[in-house]
């Protein structure tokens, strides 16, 4: 799963972990014996499913991983349907959830309003007359997540992880990342054109004629591309030290006179004397562009970004326009149902309120306890592996184990739930409800500025199928939603659970020691704790990971980006190895009894392949390769197993098999 600097996110079964196990959980079915395991283990396990799986028209993929959030949203929709119909006490979480959901489901009322909710916003843009008022508008709107060319946040200080500080990030573009603006291949040009068409449509929907709308779209795209040229690539963003640039506000004021940082901070309500400017080149470019681009063009740019921000909460023509653009990028054939969209919106804006109801209905304490047992066993397994490393000195081994056993473990849901009492929710006012919840999120963040970090805080909701490692807190987090099949089943045998959620746990633990995580100490500070020679050897091993994954072809001539995915790939390799060792601590792991015709070891590796069982549209796969720090699902299976010696034994992988690597070429980091 993705592990970013603040939060991570990202992991089909409808079976809850508190239900009786389904036959497909207890039994291994669908193996394609026509495929040799050593040639493509992902397809050996998943081909039968893959051939029959149908991607729902409203989705860009189907299966496990992130696509499990589709059935999750159906569950959440059921909860929300129920509370929306109930007679809830005013101010209760049920009332807020039910009324927010109902207001979003009332498409008739939303349709009648057209774009009336944002008319005052567009009028404010028309009144912008100079750079100072332009900056004031952008800063003020940032508080409602209407982000244009300023991206401000609050989070831990890299060098003092116990304190929350102000951060600035590169932003200002409408396509997924900088390289989209400079592509010349057919898919790339098609996406550029779809974006321009979308921008023009937004202007048409707010009153511009066709010719003016097209001219406006060209102006927005030109500014976008200019700002994109200063952006760091996804690979460059992986450099922890290069993306930490804490400096006094006084320095920024002198460096960027056109931006006027003190006025920006005043507008944001942020009292601070220093800021971490993660990507300074972006703000250098913005400072120059504020003078070289006319105010009239900036007004057009801000209108486009404001309309786009609220397109999904306005009337149907705006929603349809946003979908037509997304369709080109993701391959999604038809729009998601309104109920699914609203379940996502509620989860995003009132997530811990909804999480309370989700946990009550779908999560058990037995699942939490068994998961904790797995985590503890995997920690012991990694400690044992560290002791046996032949490339690391004793001093670094000791510090590695100190970090390992200092790791906090969060399972299921937060110990304390977030308070949403300041969110004002009114039936029939969906736009206003979204703004209220969004502003509350901003206020929640701002209350943390220059305050000690709350180590109990979660950065995902309990109902999201994901898991993450947070380097600032040296913690691993497993929400309730991932503790279900195919990752976990409280009634399943250890082979399936250790190959499933065990691999995920091992993956997240390994993130503490990947190319980024290894730069943080046990307290969550960026600090070198390595012996010099050990770190040189470590970097050489991570380069092996880059080199191996660069060879994997995904689409036509498109390869996995080894440098962008190195952290996740190293965590996958380590995750499988650690989970296997932990599995061998169990009674079943030490046994050889066949179940369904498979040995315990074979069941373990089959489970590893099942948890990444995914089928997706080519368009979405192309988006994935360009933007996702994880390798595509097939290579999350085949890549790690090519380096797992016990996999070779379990399935008799031999020289000549596609997945075979000579022993000297297999990667062994942790």
Q: 62: which DSSP letter?
A: E
Across all residues in the chain, what is the average pLDDT?
94
- Quote the pLDDT of residue 660: 98
* Rounded Cα gap, residues 114 and 432, in angstroms: 14
Does residue 57 contact residue 334 with C-beta atoms inside 8 Å? yes
Question: pLDDT tens for residues 219-237?
Answer: 999 999 999 999 999 999 9
Q: Which residue segments constitute the domains of the chain, with CATH numbers given?
A: 31-64+363-414+458-665 (3.40.390.10), 115-313 (1.10.1380.10)
Instruction: Answer yes or no: is pLDDT of 64 > 80.
Output: yes
Residue 32 CB neighbour total at 10 angstroms:
17
Mean pLDDT of 41-65: 95
In sign, the C-alpha dihedral spanning 601, 480, 73, 565 is negative
Owner of token pair 């994901």: 466
- Quote the pLDDT of residue 22: 36
Question: pLDDT tens for residues 487-527?
Answer: 999 989 999 999 999 999 999 999 999 999 999 999 999 99
Question: pLDDT tens for residues 533-573?
Answer: 999 999 999 999 999 999 999 988 889 999 999 999 999 99
Strand 160-168: give its sheet, edge to edge.
Answer: 152-157, 160-168, 274-277, 246-248
Instruction: Answer yes or no: is pLDDT of 315 > 70.
Output: yes
Residue 494 CB neighbour total at 10 angstroms:
22
- Quote the pLDDT of residue 663: 95
Question: pLDDT tens for residues 598-633?
Answer: 999 999 999 999 999 999 999 999 999 999 999 999
**Coil vs helix vs strand at 157:** strand
What are the counts of helices (DSSP H) followed by strands (DSSP E) for the chain? 27, 11
Strand partners, 558: 555
- Quote the pLDDT of residue 21: 33
Of 567, 624, 564, 3, residue with least CA distance to 233: 564
How many angstroms separate the Cα of 360 from the Cα of each of 14, 480, 602, 660?
Answer: 17, 10, 35, 47
- Quote the pLDDT of residue 29: 86
Burial (Cβ within 10 Å: 0-12, 13-18, ≥19) of residue 295: middle
- Quote the pLDDT of residue 521: 96
Mean pLDDT of 2-16: 31
Does residue 134 contact residue 298 with C-beta atoms inside 8 Å? yes
Residue 626 CB neighbour total at 10 angstroms:
20
**Coil vs helix vs strand at 155:** strand
**Residue 9 pLDDT class (50, 70, 90 cuts):** very low
* Rounded Cα gap, residues 99 and 119, in angstroms: 24
Does residue 9 contact residue 460 with C-beta atoms inside 8 Å? yes
Instruction: Answer yes or no: is pLDDT of 39 > 70.
Output: yes
Instruction: Answer yes or no: is pLDDT of 6 > 50.
Output: no
| Two structure tokens written together for 489 | 């089943």
Instruction: Answer yes or no: is pLDDT of 3 > 60.
Output: no
């Amino acid at each position: 799963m993705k592990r970013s600097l603040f939060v991570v996110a990202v992991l089909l079964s409808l079976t809850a972990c508190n239900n009786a196990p389904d036959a497909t959980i207890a039994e291994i079915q669908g193996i394609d014996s026509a495929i040799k395991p050593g040639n493509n283990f992902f397809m050996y396990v998943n081909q039968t499913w893959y051939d029959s799986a149908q991607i729902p028209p409203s989705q860009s993929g189907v299966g496990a991983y992130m696509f499990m959030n589709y059935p999750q949203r159906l569950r959440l929709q059921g909860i929300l349907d129920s509370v929306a119909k109930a007679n809830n006490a005013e101010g209760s979480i049920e009332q807020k959830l039910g009324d927010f959901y109902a207001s979003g489901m009332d498409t008739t009322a939303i349709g009648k309003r057209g774009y009336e909710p944002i008319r005052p916003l567009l009028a404010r843009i028309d009144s912008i007359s100079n750079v100072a008022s332009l900056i004031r508008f952008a800063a003020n709107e940032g508080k409602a997540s209407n982000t244009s060319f300023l991206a401000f946040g609050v989070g831990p200080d890299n060098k003092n992880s116990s304190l929350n500080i102000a951060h600035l990030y590169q932003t200002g573009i409408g396509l997924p990342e900088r390289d989209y603006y400079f592509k010349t291949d057919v898919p790339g040009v098609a996406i550029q054109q779809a974006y321009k068409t979308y921008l023009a449509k937004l202007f048409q929907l707010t009153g511009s004629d066709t010719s003016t709308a097209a001219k406006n779209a060209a102006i927005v795209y030109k500014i976008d591309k200019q700002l994109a040229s200063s952006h760091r690539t996804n690979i460059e963003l992986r450099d922890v030290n290069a993306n930490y640039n804490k400096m006094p506000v006084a320095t920024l004021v002198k460096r960027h006179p056109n931006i006027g940082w003190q006025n920006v901070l005043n507008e944001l309500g942020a009292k601070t004397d220093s800021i971490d400017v993660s990507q300074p080149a972006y703000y250098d470019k913005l400072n120059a562009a504020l003078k070289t681009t006319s105010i009239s063009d900036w007004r057009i740019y801000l209108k486009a970004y404001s309309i786009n921000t609220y397109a999904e909460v306005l009337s149907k023509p705006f929603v349809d326009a946003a979908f037509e653009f997304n369709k080109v990028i993701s391959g999604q054939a038809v729009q998601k149902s309104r109920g699914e969209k609203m379940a996502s919106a509620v989860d995003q804006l009132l997530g811990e309120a909804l999480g309370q109801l989700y946990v009550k209905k779908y999560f058990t304490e037995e699942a939490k306890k068994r998961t904790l047992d797995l985590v503890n066993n995997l920690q012991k397994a990694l400690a044992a592996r560290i002791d046996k490393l032949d490339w690391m000195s004793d001093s670094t081994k000791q510090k590695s184990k100190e970090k390992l056993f200092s790791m906090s473990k969060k399972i299921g849901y937060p110990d304390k739930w977030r308070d949403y009492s300041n969110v004002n929710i009114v039936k029939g006012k969906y736009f206003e409800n979204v703004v209220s919840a969004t502003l509350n999120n901003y206020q929640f963040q701002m209350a943390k500025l220059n305050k000690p970090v709350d180590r109990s805080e979660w950065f995902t909701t309990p109902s999201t199928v994901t898991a993450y490692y947070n380097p600032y807190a040296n913690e691993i987090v497993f929400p309730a939603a991932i503790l279900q099949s195919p990752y976990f089943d409280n009634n399943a045998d250890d082979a399936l659970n250790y190959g499933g959620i065990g691999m995920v746990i091992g993956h997240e633990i390994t993130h503490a020691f990947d190319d980024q995580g290894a730069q943080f100490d046990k307290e969550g500070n960026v600090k070198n704790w390595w012996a010099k020679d050990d770190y040189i050897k470590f970097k050489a091993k991570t380069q092996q990971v880059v080199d191996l994954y660069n060879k994997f072809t995904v689409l036509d001539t498109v390869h996995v980006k080894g440098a962008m995915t190195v952290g996740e790939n190293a965590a996958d390799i380590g995750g499988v190895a650690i989970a296997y060792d932990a599995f061998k601590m169990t009674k079943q792991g030490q046994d050889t009894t066949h179940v369904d015709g498979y040995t315990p070891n074979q069941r373990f590796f089959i489970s590893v392949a099942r948890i990444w069982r995914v089928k997706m549209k080519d368009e979405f796969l192309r988006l994935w390769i360009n933007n996702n720090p994880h390798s595509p699902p097939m290579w999350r299976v085949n890549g790690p197993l090519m380096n797992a010696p016990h996999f070779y034994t379990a399935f008799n992988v031999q020289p000549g098999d596609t997945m075979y690597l000579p022993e000297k070429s297999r990667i062994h980091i942790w």
